[in-house]
Structure 1
Amino acid sequence: MISKIALLSLLLLSIASNADTASDIKQVVLDNLKYIQAEDIENSMATMHSQSPSYMATEEMLQQLLPIYDLKYEILKYSYIGEDDEYAYAKVLQKTSKISGPAFQTNKLEALQVFKKENGVWKLWTQANLSILFN
């Protein structure tokens, strides 16, 4: 009987932990887009893990893109996938449309995003683009 209670307690703690992770990484996604929308490179990069293999390329891309374009970013769909010992995963459908700037095609990007903790806080690690549809 005690082992069943202990097992149930562990299961409930695991479910609560996953719910916290899901909420935490969704907030990272929302914060990242909020800062990009505001053209705030410093805070946008703060949502990304400093050791990410994509960190420098992302920062350089933002420094080139943001002065030229004014874009609108929307999260159309967010699905928490899960986590393992080191990473958490979410699938995101994001729409990007031009407000002003040179020629740009509105698009919907579906991506699998990977998150990793840095100093106890979930940060964006990398993403794999699954599909992109142009309007």
Structure 2
Amino acid sequence: MNFLRIPLLACASTFFAFDANIVAQDLPGAPLPGKPTTTVPAGTSDGILPATGTDAPPPPGGKTKDQSAEIDPATAKEVKDVISSNLYACSKRNLTMAMGTIHPESPTLESSRDMMRYIFARLRLKYTLEKTEVIDVRGDEARIKVTQATQKISGNAAFRDNRVTIIHTLKRDGKKWKMFSSEAQSIQFFEY
């Protein structure tokens, strides 16, 4: 599955909303131009192969190896708090506080700072954290699935209200969890 990399971490839904001319190939999961097409394997009429080996889903009610590991509740709370702090900082347009939630070695550090400066100077946005689910924690790395809504309150820049589901990867910076990278799973623009 192809995921769309986003530079703005938790405030990411604002990044998507600036381009009103999004076409199918811009969306997560869309094949890239020039990507070879898959041919239908012999013996299958619809091109769908049966699940085998590690591709097989778990039995109903069963869990995969990754899901069976318990996540420490204190760690899960710390990870969720980073996301909440980032969205709070973005809603207050506090660049210093927002950047404090991003890992200093994040590959999107500078682009996130630039995007937030642009947004904070031009827009007042309302961020609503709708759902969080810590997917896994392995050593000094954690992944969390977040669904958030972002709506324009005021401002002089174009913006499309939206709901986005993102998987954030956080890494420890000393003893603190900080956002390292993000992948958009889906985006839904609101129709009014």
Could you say whether these structures have the same fold, taking a TM-score greater than 0.5 normalized by the shorter chain as the test? yes
Residues 24-48 of structure 1, C-alpha deviations (whole Å, 9 max, x = no match)? 0100000001011001000110011
Structure 1 length normalisation: TM-score?
0.85
- The match for 1:105 among 146, 149, 160 is 160
More contact order relative to length (CA 8 Å, sep ≥ 6): 2
The SS at the match of 2:158 is coil
Match of residue 8 from structure 1: none
Match of residue 118 from structure 1: 173
Match of residue 51 from structure 1: 105
1:26 aligns with 2:92: no
1:69 aligns with 2:142: no
For residues 177 and 97 of structure 2, the distance between their equivalents in structure 1, rounded to whole angstroms, comes to: 14
1:93 aligns with 2:93: no
Q: Which structure has greater helix proportion?
A: 1
Match of residue 34 from structure 2: none
- Which one-letter code corresponds to 2:106 in the other structure? S
Return structure 1 stretches of 4+ with deviation > 6 angstroms: none
Match of residue 3 from structure 1: none
Give the greater-gyration-radius structure (CA).
Answer: 2
1:60 aligns with 2:60: no
For residues 86 and 25 of structure 1, the distance between their equivalents in structure 2, rounded to whole angstroms, comes to: 11
Identity of aligned residues (%): 29
Match of residue 132 from structure 2: 78
Match of residue 128 from structure 1: 183
- Count residues in correspondence: 121
For residues 105 and 50 of structure 1, the distance between their equivalents in structure 2, rounded to whole angstroms, comes to: 30
The SS at the match of 1:67 is helix
- Which one-letter code corresponds to 1:127 in the other structure? S
Instruction: Mark the runs of 5 or more structure 1 residues left unpaired by the alignment.
Output: 1-13
Decide which moves more: 81-90 or 123-132. Answer: 81-90
For residues 67 and 85 of structure 1, the distance between their equivalents in structure 2, rounded to whole angstroms, comes to: 38
For residues 87 and 139 of structure 2, the distance between their equivalents in structure 1, rounded to whole angstroms, comes to: 26
Matches within 5 A, 1:29-40: 29-40=83-94
CA RMSD in angstroms, aligned pairs only: 1.3
Deviation at 1:120, TM superposition (A): 1.2
Contact 1:18/1:82 (<8 A) preserved: no
